[in-house]
Amino acid sequence: MAASVQYFIPIFKRKNRKANLGKLEGIFMKDQNIINQNDEVLFTPIRVGAIELPSRVIMAPLTRNRAGADNVPTDLMAKYYAQRATAGLIISEATQICPEGQGYSATPGIHSSEQIAGWKRITAAVHAKGGRIVLQLWHVGRISHTSLQPNGQAPVAPSAIRANAQVFAAGGFVDVSMPRALALSEIPTLVETYRQAANNAKEAGFDGVEIHAANGYLLDQFLRDRTNQRNDAYGGNIENRIRLLSEVCEAAADAIGADRVGVRLSPLTSFGDIADSNPQTLFNRVVARLAELEIAFVHVIEGETGGERNPQPFDYAAMRGSFPGTWIVNNGYDRTMAIDAVAGNQADAVAFGRSFIANPDLPRRLRENTVLNLPDPATFYGGDAHGYTDYPALE
Ligand code: 8OZ
């Protein structure tokens, strides 16, 4: 905290003091809320690899299940993302890199020319509004059902271990299917699929990619010892379990530049029936490897995804180690928590999920400390414009 005050006061002094005081008084009188100088810390610019952000308020990736036929992104999705273009950075909803990577109905892909064309309309709409957007690259691994897989085949995973989890398929929620273990010979093809997806993202006009290695999906399944029981170069010790993520990052970096690649991690989540016997050691090492690869950012979900922030002790500062890139945090942050995290240097930026669903103009609302619309969970997954593009912005 002390460091942040020292950091912020000189900036404050450089500005027109009188104007700032007037602004602060105005906000104070309107909301009966004491605004302190640190509040502006979320609205200082930051460079994330090659991407310049005007603020540290990030839109988290949010699965909304509104893709069209053949998982092509729609014009309604373009409207939704463009409405949120004032985010410092938009991280797109999770997007499958290949048909086998799908685990829920109506999630978009980035593997067909129609999907690339659909995303092009979205990136153009966001850029036209002055925003920035990266694509989250997704392969669900074992979190899928045969009805969502090409030819009704079994989903793939590091090991043939079925998750105690459900996915949303055409008829509603169903238990996931028994996966088959990927053969060693299939792994280079998988890495190439990520490379192609990163190239497709570039072609579609994205500013970069976020590799989804969180929430119990394929790359997370390789990282953790409950789900990865392989005895080849991609399983066993930590170095081997990290290998696939490392190769995927290298391939994406080779395709579009390491300064346009980030990774999302969730060291403590049990989402997707995932677990590891020693997450601290594992994730310290994962981030050290990502630092060697010089990727632009790490985006960490703290605690249980969408739930308990401290389910067990964990040292996030140790996980961050000496990672020199941007550190984005996520999971239930409100305005005060976000300001404290950035001002206290626990994070460079904060990703907001649910509050971005309900508030297309969230950055402005956080800056002015005004009331937030409440999200309606009944319209999160699937449906039409209702609960998607009809949340009001401030006048
Ligand atoms: C909610 C519903 C379906 C998928 C994640 C991609 O948790 C998801 C997801 C979230 O990362």
> 3-state SS string over 159-188?
CCCCCCCEEEECCEEEECCCCEECCHHHHH
More confident residue, 7 or 154: 154
Written as six digits, the tokens of 21 are: 């005081």
Closest ligand 1 atom to the C-alpha of 272?
Answer: 7
Which residue's CA is the nearest one to ligand 1's atom 1?
A: 63
> Which residue's CA lies nearest to atom 9 of ligand 1?
63
For residue 155, pLDDT beyond 60: yes
Residues 36, 349: Cα–Cα separation, whole Å: 19
For residue 278, name the pLDDT band (cuts at 50, 70, 90).
very high
Indicate if the pLDDT at residue 20 is higher than 90: no
Q: Could you give the C-alpha distances from 310 to 197, 214, 346, in angstroms and in order?
A: 34, 17, 15
104 lines ligand 1 (CB under 6 A): yes
**Averaged pLDDT of the chain:** 92
pLDDT at 38: 84
Query: Is residue 6 very low, low, confident or very high in pLDDT (cuts 50, 70, 90)?
Result: very low
3-state class (DSSP) for residue 77 = helix
- The helix-helix angle for 238-256 and 187-203 (nearest 10°) equals 30
Residues 285-319 as b or e (16 or more Cβ within 10 Å = b): bbbebbbebebbbbbbbbbbbeeeeeeeebebeeb
Q: Whose CA is nearest to atom 10 of ligand 1?
A: 63
In short, whether 63's Cβ falls inside 6 Å of ligand 1 is yes
Partners of 328 in beta bridges: 299, 349
Q: How close is the Cα of 63 to the center of ligand 1, in Å?
A: 5
The per-residue pLDDT for range 288-347, each reduced to its tens digit, is 999 999 999 999 999 999 999 999 999 999 999 999 999 999 999 999 999 999 999 999
Atom of ligand 1 nearest to the CA of 271: 7
Please compute the mean of the pLDDT values over residues 380-386 and round it to a whole number.
Answer: 97
Gap from CA of 62 to ligand 1 centroid (Å): 7
Closest CA to 90 of 61, 47, 133, 137: 133
Q: Where in the chain are the domains? A: 1-41, 45-379
Ligand 1 centre to CA of 331 (Å) is 13
pLDDT higher than threshold 90 for residue 209: yes
388 is catalytic: no
Atom of ligand 1 nearest to the CA of 306: 7
Banded model confidence at residue 171, pLDDT cuts 50, 70, 90? confident
User: Taking 80 as the threshold, does the pLDDT of residue 192 lie above it?
Assistant: yes
CA separation for the pair 198, 307 (Å, rounded) = 30
Band of residue 37 on the pLDDT scale cut at 50, 70, 90: low
pLDDT value, residue 35: 53
**Residue 39: predicted pLDDT:** 84
- Bridge-partner residues for 351, per DSSP? 58, 330
Q: What is the mean pLDDT of residues 363-375?
A: 97
Say whether 359 sits in a helix, a strand or coil.
coil
Q: What is the pLDDT of residues 65-78, one digit of tens each?
A: 999 999 999 999 99
Mean pLDDT calculated for residue range 207-228: 98
Q: From the options 3.20.20.70, 3.40.50.300, 3.40.50.880, 3.10.310.10, give the CATH code of 45-379.
A: 3.20.20.70
Q: Out of 80, 217, 234, 333, which one is annotated catalytic?
A: 217
CA of 7 relative to ligand 1 center, distance in Å: 37
What's the gap in Å between 59 CA and the centre of ligand 1?
A: 15
List, in sequence order, the alpha helices (H) in the chain.
2-14, 17-31, 75-83, 113-128, 187-203, 218-223, 238-256, 279-292, 316-320, 335-343, 354-358, 362-368
Taking only the tens place, the pLDDT of each residue in 344-359 is: 999 999 999 999 999 9
Please check the confidence at residue 382 and state whether its pLDDT lies above 60: yes
Cα radius of gyration (the chain)? 21
Question: Are 96 and 115 spatial neighbours (Cβ–Cβ below 8 Å)?
Answer: no
Q: How far is the C-alpha of 213 from the C-alpha of 266, rounded, in Å? A: 8
Question: How confident is the model over 243-264, as pLDDT tens digits?
Answer: 999 999 999 999 999 999 999 9
Say if residue 94's pLDDT is above 90: yes
Contact 282, 267 (CB under 8 A): yes
Percent of the chain with pLDDT over 70: 91
